[in-house]
Amino acid sequence: MGGSSTRARAESMRGGQQDAHSAGQPLVQQHFMPQHLKRPFETLMIPIHPGGHRPLSRAKSSPATASLPTPDPSPKTISLPVSEQATKPRFTTGIMYDSVMLKHQCTCGDNSNHPEHAGRIQSIWSRLQERGLRNHCECMRGRKASLDELQSVHTETHVLLYGTNPLNRLKLDNRKLASVLAQRMFVMLPCGGLGVDSDTIWNELHSSNAARWAAGSVIDLAFKVATRELKNGFALVRPPGHHADPSTAMGFCFFNSVAIAAKQLQQRLNVRKILIVDWDVHHGNGTQRVFYRDPNVLYISLHRHDDGNFFPGSGAADEVGVGSGEGFNVNVAWTGGLEPPMGDVEYLAAFRTLVMPIAHEFSPDVVLVSAGFDAAEGHPAPLGGYKVTAKCFGHMTRHLMSLAGGRVVLALEGGHDLTSICDASEACVSALLGNEMDPLSEETLRQRPNPNAVHSLETCIQVQSKLLVRKECCYSMGCHDFWKRKHQIEQPATQS
């Protein structure tokens, strides 16, 4: 795809920020289904439209353009051992996981065609057991989010489209449901399965339950941490959520679990200030849209942007929020492609000069992390291409634990190289448990960020320094000028 069309899509995405809860364009009407495709799906009541689906906004680096080989295409279902289901949680790190989320799989049965597959969370779950970390955590199954909870972020139509299946639809209002389902459209994927777009698969029997379970698990974990029932936590969930906006499923995401958890904390626990840090290599366009006008939720994203040419195209440094939310949306938008790729030095510089100073100034009551690990080394260029190590993810987690009295909840988003995401998850859970961390190498601490990173950080600082909320924070922090942070960018970590 050309750069001009991508910029147009990015502009369209930015325009969408103006109303976080506005419904999307009417869904395409049901189309005629060829007779040879009809029979296998008619019992599922799914309107099929092979090849003619209106594509969602995609930059040229959509995850659909690459696939990764995976192990066993039919992972075995596993459940929590009885010993890991204590009735009264210990005050420690909580982990949410359940095998119901493994069932969200393409009907083609071949995981090698789909980077977002069940083996992701199954592999992480096994790794945490192998390393003995699960024995020190409170392991819980989570639950399915209610339709009302989902509607705290998503439209009713969106919730009915993606939050119901043939079994639980029997309990709902048939007239309302019929009108919504008539609008549904799916695409036939090259693998032979179904999708809501070219890379987001749909399993009519299991996808809705898995997506609702992911959201409910993040909600439950956030509540247990916020109320001090647990110290902190890691939600090992799928499908991911940060691309889902109020009325659109995209980028493997159906329900924005982290955004829903934040809304529930606001509405049911009256949590005053929430920080959301999103270090997935892709911008969380859905999360940004939901809170674009909200001064009580600070959203900070570090992501590959490349001037809008990397999926989803949103997340420029000048997208800072609107109205009372202006200044509470911070995008560290990396540019320059992979020449060279961003790594530990660049991410630690971002934390040192932007993320932590602004987060401390905001002084949140709870920290939620959209913990995508696709910036980790091991991901090919279309899926990330960066070189952040597992050790760095652990250190970023430890930095965030200095906020909100340690009330930190990580929720898995993207990340598709199994070794990388297992390593990163292990490092983050170990950090949450307070274990001694492997120190960063002297080379990493002494190295300066690459020129593209310096430019990206300076751009973000320049944008943020013009906002009144940032100028006031500088005074309260004892800084005469927020611009002083510019000279820190190129300094090694040992000198800061």
Residue 33 maps to a domain: no
Residue 3 maps to a domain: no
The pLDDT of residue 185 is 83
Catalytic residue among 243, 282, 305, 395: 243
What b-and-e string marks burial along 203-242, b requiring 16 or more CB atoms within 10 Å of the CB?
bbebbbbbbbbbbbbbbbbbbbbbeeebbbbbbbbbbbbb
The pLDDT of residue 486 is 53
**Mean pLDDT confidence for 29-40:** 35
**Mean pLDDT confidence for 44-57:** 38
- What total number of domains does the chain contain? 1
The pLDDT of residue 178 is 78
Whether residue 17 has pLDDT greater than 60: no
> Using CA atoms, how far apart are residues 230 and 490, in angstroms rounded to an integer?
38
Whether residue 297 has pLDDT greater than 70: yes
Whether residue 257 has pLDDT greater than 50: yes
Residue 28 maps to a domain: no
Whether residue 230 has pLDDT greater than 90: yes
Residue 480 maps to a domain: yes
What b-and-e string marks burial along 254-288, b requiring 16 or more CB atoms within 10 Å of the CB?
bbbbbbbbbbbbbeeeebebbbbbbbbbbbbbbbb
Q: Is 243 a catalytic residue?
A: yes
Residue 134 maps to a domain: yes
Check if the beta carbon of residue 283 is closer than 8 Å to that of residue 312.
Answer: yes
The pLDDT of residue 215 is 98
The pLDDT of residue 493 is 60
HEC string for the chain: CCHHHHHHHHHHHHHHHHCCCCCCCCCCCCCCCCHHHHHHHHHHCCCECCCCCCCCCCCCCCHHHCCCCCCCCCCCCCCCCHHHCCCCCCCCEEEECCHHHHHCCCCCCCHHHCCCCCHHHHHHHHHHHHCCCHHHCEEECCCCCCHHHHCCCCCHHHHHHHCCCCCHHHHCCHHHHHHHHCCCCEEECCCCCEECCCCCECCCCCHHHHHHHHHHHHHHHHHHHHCCCCCEEEECCCCCCCCCECCECECCECCCHHHHHHHHHHHHHCCCCEEEEECCCCCCHHHHHHCCCCCCEEEEEEEECHHHCCCCCCCCCCCCCCHHHCCCEEEEEECCCCCCCCEHHHHHHHHHHHHHHHHHHHCCCEEEEEECCCCECCCCHHHCCCEECHHHHHHHHHHHCCCHHHCEEEEECCCCCHHHHHHHHHHHHHHHCCCCCCCCCHHHHHCCCCHHHHHHHHHHHHHHHCCHHHHHHHHHCCCCCHHHHHHHHCCCHHHC
Check if the beta carbon of residue 432 is closer than 8 Å to that of residue 232.
Answer: yes
**Mean pLDDT confidence for 319-337:** 97
149-178 per-position pLDDT tens digit = 999 999 999 999 999 988 888 777 777 777
Residue bearing the bigger pLDDT, 89 or 214: 214
What b-and-e string marks burial along 376-407, b requiring 16 or more CB atoms within 10 Å of the CB?
bbbbeebbbbbbbbbbbbbbbbbbbbebbeeb
Whether residue 84 has pLDDT greater than 70: no
Whether residue 23 has pLDDT greater than 50: no
The pLDDT of residue 287 is 98
**Mean pLDDT confidence for 402-418:** 98
Residue 422 maps to a domain: yes
**Mean pLDDT confidence for 29-53:** 37
Residue 55 maps to a domain: no
**Mean pLDDT confidence for 193-207:** 93
The pLDDT of residue 177 is 77
Of the ranges 88-92, 120-124, 141-145, 449-453, which one carries the lowest mean pLDDT score? 88-92
What average pLDDT is seen over the chain? 83
362-383 per-position pLDDT tens digit = 999 999 999 999 999 999 999 9
Residue 465, domain extent: 95-149+204-495
**If we measure between CA atoms, which residue out of 376, 395, 396, 392 comes closest to residue 384?**
376
Whether residue 39 has pLDDT greater than 90: no
97-155 per-position pLDDT tens digit = 999 999 999 999 898 889 999 999 999 999 999 999 999 999 999 999 999 999 999 99
The residue type at 252: F
Residue 449 maps to a domain: yes
Check if the beta carbon of residue 124 is closer than 8 Å to that of residue 205.
Answer: no
Whether residue 183 has pLDDT greater than 80: no
**Mean pLDDT confidence for 462-484:** 60
Whether residue 51 has pLDDT greater than 90: no
Confidence band, pLDDT 50/70/90 cuts, at residue 470: low
Whether residue 196 has pLDDT greater than 70: yes
The CATH number of residue 246's host domain is: 3.40.800.20
The pLDDT of residue 485 is 54
